[in-house]
Amino acid sequence: MAIGLATCAAPVEPPATIPGDAAAQADPLPSWNDGGSKRAIVAFVARVTNERGADFVQQAERVAVFDNDGTLWIEQPMYVQLAFTLDRVRELAPQHPEWSEREPFKSVLAGDLVAALADEHRVLEMLAATHFGNTTEEFSAAVERWIGSARHPRFARPYTQLVYQPMLELLAYLRTNGFKTYIVSGGGVEFMRPWAEAAYGIPPEQVVGSRAKLEYQVRDGLPVIARLAEVDHVDDKAGKPVGIQEIIGRRPIAAFGNSDGDFEMLEWTTAGKGARFGLIVHHTDADREWAYDRGSPVGALARALDAAPARGWVVVDMKQDWKVVFPGG
Amino acid sequence: MAIGLATCAAPVEPPATIPGDAAAQADPLPSWNDGGSKRAIVAFVARVTNERGADFVQQAERVAVFDNDGTLWIEQPMYVQLAFTLDRVRELAPQHPEWSEREPFKSVLAGDLVAALADEHRVLEMLAATHFGNTTEEFSAAVERWIGSARHPRFARPYTQLVYQPMLELLAYLRTNGFKTYIVSGGGVEFMRPWAEAAYGIPPEQVVGSRAKLEYQVRDGLPVIARLAEVDHVDDKAGKPVGIQEIIGRRPIAAFGNSDGDFEMLEWTTAGKGARFGLIVHHTDADREWAYDRGSPVGALARALDAAPARGWVVVDMKQDWKVVFPGG
């Protein structure tokens, strides 16, 4: 039943809506076990696409937003962008001889990640040194080089193959039913755009994320967009509805997350009028992936998990609900 | 030859590309006189849509950006958003008895616009008093009420009927050829989104503009997005390429403007590799609309006009190139 990665790059433009009963189609979610989560997804899509129903939603308003880390792809043992940051410290080290004597760079270069990641200040310092002071095109090229060659420490696969197969099917299913699918992530927007289309079928203009302050500059007659050493927007927690309003300008009707960083996005989405859908991916599968929620240093899930029943948010039990986790099984 | 406004609301999603020679279709630009401007537009579209040609551009990369004021709709005798601002001062005055004694509100209420608009500081004070301190939904509702009832002082028509018919045809023509059309304007994004889809067929998520700082708040259990009294982004001049990168994340291949505020957007667009297109609407028609360029307090055009020949930007002569200016003639 496994479906290869080649199927991920679904058409970017949603095809015309298939009116009527979406549930009557051939199973569009083959990697989802039959159960409450799958039934809730299919029932919601059927409600909003049924032109004769009270909950019909015009195609233009079918906006679905997805967190990225831990919702669409793996976020353990560390956020992928942090792995990129550490590798980029190593890559840039020859241009910075002073790093061999300066923390946290010294620890990264010595292979002591515990020391390098000891506190948030050290992480921010590495982010600043590796993410800013370049142009958007230079940064994008660095991300593309890295994502094409890096391997996950446990699964020894490219990170773009550690996306969740059931979520790929869900993205494609929503698009087939006229939804526009967006990423709304705490990760850097320019870190995600270079590979999101190949991995998820989500084009650059449908990626919302944290961003550096940008500045238009003309250098020797050649225009560039410089990434300044200043954070312009943090697209996490209460920053997610703000990012949605800035970039999309419509309130979504469906939101998908996995951590407390997604609470406000779920709240904003499901507090709107009419049919709404909220879903939380609960990481419960230590064998096939990871099991974590409360108190996890990555992707902590407590407040949103506690609020889910009263707010009607579907909680996916990864171990029970998913037949496979990654493409290829 | 006039085409009614009903034809403006073209399909939002671009239909599949019609491959081959775009110029061979029935005239898609009937309000454009045959001449260099029209021929340049048609030739560009033919080049980038010809799958067998060296300049073919994949549909996903066919991004076209349009300034709004003076490019898609009228900007004389004052920016439409300024007319909205003045009317909103009058509308809100009963809630602000102190305005009857305080400038610039006192002058607006007394009908003395010369005094009210005497300097930039006064305009900014009115913008702050009328645009901020509300929620996105409240502001959007205020814009919708106003745009449905306000009339232009010279033409006595709703502003949404003072859009340029030749530009509506151009938007539709580009979309028919697989382009995604965006507004990139110095105007407020939340001022444009409520009516841009009906007027131009451009959905909210394809409108880039200046914006207030936003904040997510929960008031008595109800989430809202508040518009704070702080400007977050000025989408003019060098701010236009920044807005394009933030929202779209791709460099456009075609840009359309009318003033020096569009210089950097035209520069950024046409400096890219491959086939590129830049166009300036030159207001030369005092009889049917307005004639202005250098030194105009609204929509000044000097630097971009001087640079156009060397950079290959097409300069549209409104009087010569357009058969009609507004829908309905």
Along chain B (329 residues), what's the average pLDDT of each consecutive run of 10 residues?
Answer: 33 44 73 98 98 97 98 97 97 96 96 92 92 96 98 98 98 98 98 98 98 97 96 96 98 98 98 97 98 96 98 98 94
- Work out the widest C-alpha separation in chain B, in whole angstroms: 69
Average pLDDT over residues A242-252: 98
Write down the pLDDT at residue B25. 57
Report which of B232, B192, B251, B157 is spatially closest to residue B69, judged by C-alpha positions: B192
Q: Annotate A206-218 with b (16+ C-beta within 10 A) or e (fewer).
A: bbbbbbbebbbee
**Cα gap A124→A308, rounded to integer Å:** 32
Beta partners for residue B188, in sequence order:
B210
How far away is chain B from the Cα of A3, in angstroms, using its nearest Cα? Answer: 25
Q: Is the dihedral of CA B191, B197, B201, B205 positive or negative?
A: positive
What does pLDDT average to over chain A? 93
**Cα gap B39→B16, rounded to integer Å:** 23
Pairwise CB contact (< 8 Å): A215 & B203: no
Which one-letter DSSP state was computed for residue B236? S
Beta partners for residue A188, in sequence order:
A210
Report which of A243, A136, A237, A139 is spatially closest to residue A182, judged by C-alpha positions: A243
Pairwise CB contact (< 8 Å): A245 & B13: no
Please tell me if residue B136 touches chain A, with a CB cutoff of 8 Å. yes
How far away is chain B from the Cα of A100, in angstroms, using its nearest Cα? Answer: 35
Dump pLDDT digits (tens) for A202-211. 999 999 999 9
- The three-point CA angle A56-A62-A68 to 5° equals 140
On the question of pLDDT at A6 being above 90, the answer is no
Pairwise CB contact (< 8 Å): A248 & B205: yes
How far away is chain A from the Cα of B113, in angstroms, using its nearest Cα? Answer: 33
Residues whose CB is less than 8 angstroms from the CB of residue A58 and which lie 6 or more positions away in sequence, other chains included: none
What are the Cα distances from residue A88, in Å, to A145, A202, A227? 11, 25, 16
Identify the three-state secondary structure at position B233.
strand
Q: Which of A138, A214, A232 to mutate to test the interface with B (most CBs of B within 10 A)?
A: A214
Write down the pLDDT at residue B18. 47
**Closest residue in chain B to residue A222, using alpha carbons only:** B271
On chain A, the residues whose CB falls within 8 A of the CB of B216 are 238-242, 264, 268
Helix or strand run (H / E) with residue A137? helix A136-149
Please tell me if residue B60 touches chain A, with a CB cutoff of 8 Å. yes
CA distance from start to end of chain B? 9
Beta partners for residue A207, in sequence order:
A183
A214 and B243 Cβ atoms separated by less than 8 Å: no
Pairwise CB contact (< 8 Å): B13 & A14: yes
A57 and A270 Cβ atoms separated by less than 8 Å: no
Pairwise CB contact (< 8 Å): B216 & A189: no
**Cα gap B23→A13, rounded to integer Å:** 25
Pairwise CB contact (< 8 Å): B242 & A215: yes
Which region holds residue B272: left if phi is over 0, alpha if psi is between -120 and 50, else beta?
Answer: beta
Share above pLDDT 70 across residues of chain A, in percent, rounded to a whole number: 92
Pairwise CB contact (< 8 Å): B216 & A249: no
B236 and B259 Cβ atoms separated by less than 8 Å: no
Please tell me if residue A218 touches chain B, with a CB cutoff of 8 Å. yes
**Closest residue in chain B to residue A191, using alpha carbons only:** B249
Pairwise CB contact (< 8 Å): A223 & B271: yes
Pairwise CB contact (< 8 Å): B12 & A60: yes
Write down the pLDDT at residue B24. 52
Pairwise CB contact (< 8 Å): B216 & A239: yes
Write down the pLDDT at residue A191. 98
Report which of A268, A258, A312 is spatially closest to residue A67, judged by C-alpha positions: A258
**Cα gap B225→B133, rounded to integer Å:** 11
Pairwise CB contact (< 8 Å): A247 & B242: no
Residues whose CB is less than 8 angstroms from the CB of residue B233 and which lie 6 or more positions away in sequence, other chains included: B210, B211, B239, B242, B243, B246
Which one-letter DSSP state was computed for residue A276? -
Residues whose CB is less than 8 angstroms from the CB of residue B18 and which lie 6 or more positions away in sequence, other chains included: B25, B49, B176, B177
- Work out the widest C-alpha separation in chain A, in whole angstroms: 69
Q: Annotate B299-312 with b (16+ C-beta within 10 A) or e (fewer).
A: bbbeebbebbeeee
**Cα gap B244→B254, rounded to integer Å:** 12
Nearest CB among B13, B14, B204 relative to A249 is that of B204
Write down the pLDDT at residue A2. 33
Pair type for strands B222-233 and B207-219: antiparallel
Write down the pLDDT at residue B14. 43
**Cα gap B316→A183, rounded to integer Å:** 39
Pairwise CB contact (< 8 Å): A246 & B216: no
On the question of pLDDT at A15 being above 80, the answer is no
How far away is chain B from the Cα of A89, in angstroms, using its nearest Cα? Answer: 25
On the question of pLDDT at A193 being above 50, the answer is yes
Here the tokens at position A322 are: 């998913």
What are the Cα distances from residue B216, in Å, to A158, A287, A290, B223? 36, 38, 32, 7
How far away is chain B from the Cα of A204, in angstroms, using its nearest Cα? Answer: 6
On chain A, the residues whose CB falls within 8 A of the CB of B241 are 216, 223, 225
Average pLDDT over residues A57-79: 98
CA distance from start to end of chain A? 9
Please tell me if residue A292 touches chain B, with a CB cutoff of 8 Å. no
Please tell me if residue A46 touches chain B, with a CB cutoff of 8 Å. no
Average pLDDT over residues A213-235: 96
Report residue A242's pLDDT band, with 50, 70 and 90 as the boundaries: very high
Pairwise CB contact (< 8 Å): A223 & B267: yes
On chain A, the residues whose CB falls within 8 A of the CB of B248 are 204-205
On chain A, the residues whose CB falls within 8 A of the CB of B268 are 216, 223, 225
Report which of A173, A129, A189, A160 is spatially closest to residue A30, judged by C-alpha positions: A173
Report which of A44, A20, A73, A12 is spatially closest to residue A269, judged by C-alpha positions: A44
Average pLDDT over residues A131-147: 97
DSSP string across B249-262: -S--SEEEE-SGGG
**Closest residue in chain A to residue B17, using alpha carbons only:** A13
DSSP string across A172-202: HHHHHTTPEEEEEEEEEHHHHHHHHHHHHS-
**Closest residue in chain B to residue A136, using alpha carbons only:** B245
Choose between A22 and A308: higher pLDDT: A308
Pairwise CB contact (< 8 Å): A225 & B241: yes
On chain B, the residues whose CB falls within 8 A of the CB of A214 are 242, 245-246
**Closest residue in chain A to residue B63, using alpha carbons only:** A205
**Cα gap A263→A247, rounded to integer Å:** 19
The pTM score is: 0.91
How far away is chain B from the Cα of A209, in angstroms, using its nearest Cα? Answer: 10
Please tell me if residue A186 touches chain B, with a CB cutoff of 8 Å. no
Identify the three-state secondary structure at position A66.
strand
Residues whose CB is less than 8 angstroms from the CB of residue B195 and which lie 6 or more positions away in sequence, other chains included: B143, B144, B147, B160
